[in-house]
Amino acid sequence: MKRKHLLLLWAVLIVSIPIFAISYGHNLNQTLRVLRNELNADYQQIDKNRDRLTEDYEKQRQKMIDVMKQCDELSLTLYSQKQGFTCHLAAVPLCAFHEEKPSQDHP
């Protein structure tokens, strides 16, 4: 029980001492200037991060669109091929078709 009270008192002191120093400091203008500079620096960092994340998002989105277009082209190619023919995926841009030979294992 004493330990909880001691920890609570310690936490209150940790929070109240900086607030007291800011509120009742002798040089309030300098303290406010420092806080304003820190706030501006944090805002600039957040702005840079937001720009970087937006750029990364756009790159990922474009990659996803490109993959979807490739999948659409491949699915159309596979859908439109003749029965009994296969498309070699290694040559998808050229998509050379070869006739499948019936296997001897299956009648």
Express each pLDDT in 30-81 by its tens digit.
878 888 999 999 999 999 999 999 999 999 999 999 999 888 888 877 777 7
Per the confidence metrics, is the pTM higher than 0.75? no
pLDDT at 96: 43
**Between 29 and 38, where is the model more confident?**
38
Alpha helices in the chain (DSSP H): 2-23, 28-80
DSSP state of 82: P
**107, pLDDT greater than 90:** no
pLDDT at 15: 75
